[in-house]
Amino acid sequence: MAIDYTRSSNPVLSGNPFRTGEVAAFGDTMTVNGVINKTGFLLLLVTIGAVLPWLRFFANPADPLVSVMTFGGAIAGLVTAMVTIFKKDWAPVTAPAYALFEGLFLGGVSAMFEMRYPGIALQAMALTFGVLAVMLMAYRSGMIRATEKFRLGVVAATGAIAIVYLAGFVLSFFGIQLSFLYGNSLLSIGISGVIVVVAALNLILDFDLIERGVREGAPRKMEWFAGFALLVTLVWLYLELLRLLSKINSRR
């Protein structure tokens, strides 16, 4: 039976991400352990990429190179992500590149938040991995199942969030700020909390789709693509937690 991959709210897992036109040789197929190893390596690359802008920022917050690395990393990361989505066979090369670029972006952004709210970056990182562990345990135990209704709900929520963010971005060019999205009111904090929950639920869909890909016998190189998919969700979750914590801290 063909696997329906169209229900993932993670854009990198839309369609059938493991359909490459190749038939994996016996013993040369994707495995869960392989995905874990690739994801761990990508997270290491993110950390390595984040170190440089982080250190330069605290050495000199006005260093223009920090902004270049931060925004350059964001743009390069977006381009590399799009290439990986449309050229999945290139994932063994583009996924590590994406991780490094995203590390530059996260390092710069995290340093800016850290300067204003000391300790916030470590808190957001700890919460991100804590949520990952909880979601994985919930998925493996069967506490949360990726049913059809669950998938549709997460997809709808994620799409709504994307639309609101896009609207806020466009309106900002006209000097209009969505206070409920970027402010520190209780409503804004509540909305950020909901977004964090939606980001976390995306992990369940990722786990489910990756597990199905393993059962389908995808080629081993798709482990890189699966790791990339997880990384995209984890980056989103980390950024949302960073924003949520900053809103809470700004009220103190």
pLDDT at 6 over 80: no
pLDDT of residue 42: 97
Q: What is the DSSP string of the chain?
A: -----TT-SSGGGSS-TT--S--PPTT-B--HHHHHHHHHHHHHHHHHHHHHHHHHHHH-TT-HHHHHHHHHHHHHHHHHHHHHHH-GGGHHHHHHHHHHHHHHHHHHHHHHHHHHSTTHHHHHHHHHHHHHHHHHHHHHHTSS---HHHHHHHHHHHHHHHHHHHHHHHHHTTT---HHHHS-SHHHHHHHHHHHHHHHHHHHHHHHHHHHHHHHT-BTTHHHHHHHHHHHHHHHHHHHHHHHHHHHHHT-
Q: Is this structure's pTM higher than 0.95?
A: no
- The answer to whether residue 188 scores a pLDDT higher than 50 is yes
Region for residue 94 given its phi and psi (left: phi exceeds 0; alpha: psi -120 to 50; beta: otherwise): alpha
pLDDT of residue 56: 95
Reported as a single tens digit per residue, the pLDDT across 22-72 is 545 445 889 999 999 999 999 999 999 999 999 999 999 989 999 999 999
Taking residues 105-123, report their average pLDDT. 96
Q: pLDDT band at residue 169, thresholds of 50, 70 and 90?
A: confident
pLDDT digits (tens, 9 = 90+) for 127-136: 999 999 999 9
Greater confidence, 165 or 27?
165
pLDDT band at 189 (very low <50, low <70, confident <90, very high): very high
For the chain, percent of residues with pLDDT exceeding 70: 89
What's the pLDDT score for residue 5?
38
pLDDT at 27 (0 to 100): 55
pLDDT above 90 covers a percentage of the chain that reads 67
The residues that bridge with 206 in the sheet, in sequence order, are none
Name the residue type at position 74: A
Lowest average pLDDT, out of 1-10, 24-33, 105-114, 212-221, goes to 1-10
